[in-house]
Amino acid sequence: MRLLNQLPYALESWARRVIGPFDHVRDVSGTGPSACRVWELARPDRTTRFILKTARGATAYRAETFAYRHALPALPPGGAPQLLDSSADHLALLLTAVPGRPMDDLRLPPTEEREAYRQSGALLARLHTAGDLTPPRRAEAEAERDGAPDRLERSLHSCGGLVTARERALLRALVADLATSGPLPLAFVHGDAQPGNLLWSAAGRAVWIDFERSRFAPAVQDFVRLATGPWADRPALRSAFLTGYGRRPGPAERHALRCFAALDAVGALAWGPPNGDDEVTARGRRTLDLLVKGEVA
């Protein structure tokens, strides 16, 4: 039986031109309001699968296409999906399917969970050295810090009463400190390194997916959603990740981590409520609470 699940005809035609025949389509899109459309395609034998993804917009499409073409080849085989083709007309990418389930859907034994995070750190270390850090790219990465105060104020303006006066003062102080945090290692970052984008397979292999927020930026930005997520409750996962990553953040990076976490918190609180995204709103509130308690490290 052929299940199209409302796959647009133009996308179906393009995919068939690239990969040939398939007779099974399954919608595997996320559930949040910011989720892009994603379909799993399978050949008649069901053993060969592909992923068809449409980006949330032109910026996300360009970022992810750049990542697959110029940075992800630096990862070891199987560390990320492979790009088969992309279409600027459809803002679509056709990828190899990779085994595994998101870490936030799994309940693993502690030893296996630590191994998953160790491997994830090793993969991000490889990604961070990928891409050509030319002068324009270096300027792009440094602008992440230089433009932080303006981004904070725009987000605070949208937060309304969700952020108290005391919390606003803390956020402003943290972001102002970015200017004095010292030189930060620059890298090509994933941009959304968090458990939902980290797959773990039954074969014991970690895979990073979803690179639409990838860019050149301070490397420590890829630690923010880990530090305010799984690491906050399970420091052993932080140790495992950094073992795989191959180094520990220096003093300037540890300081900048809290500053970038402040930006992430207020950005989530500015975007989540008006877009009806309870998950993003909860993440922002949790991050802000951790910052107030001084527990982001």
Distance CA 81, CA 69 (A): 11
Structure tokens at 178: 């970015």
| Burial annotation 142-177 (CB, 10 A radius, 16+ → b, else e) | bebbeebeeebeebbeebeebbeeebeebbbebbee
Strands 186-189 and 101-102: unpaired
- Whether 214 and 189 have beta carbons less than 8 Å apart is answered as yes
Distance CA 29, CA 27 (A): 6
Residue pLDDT, tens place only, 20-63: 999 899 999 887 777 789 999 998 887 789 999 999 999 999 99
Q: What are phi and psi of 86, to 5 degrees?
A: -140, 155
Confidence (pTM): 0.93
pLDDT at 6 over 80: no
The residues, ordered by sequence, that sit 6+ positions from 265 with a Cβ below 8 Å of its Cβ are 171, 228, 284, 285, 287, 288, 291
DSSP 194-251: SGGGEEE-TTS-EEE---TT-EEEEGGGGGHHHHTTHHHH-HHHHHHHHHHHTS---H
| Burial annotation 239-275 (CB, 10 A radius, 16+ → b, else e) | bbbbebbeeebeebbbbbbbbbbbbbbbbbbbbbbee
pLDDT at 226 (0 to 100): 98
- Whether 146 and 176 have beta carbons less than 8 Å apart is answered as no
Q: Checking phi first, is residue 213 left (phi over 0); if not, alpha (psi -120 to 50) or beta?
A: alpha
Residue pLDDT, tens place only, 111-170: 999 999 999 999 999 999 997 889 999 999 999 888 999 999 999 999 989 999 999 999
Structure tokens at 169: 């003062």
Residue pLDDT, tens place only, 172-215: 999 998 888 889 999 999 999 999 999 999 999 999 999 999 99
Q: Which of 27-31, 83-87, 157-161, 230-234 has the lowest mean pLDDT?
A: 27-31
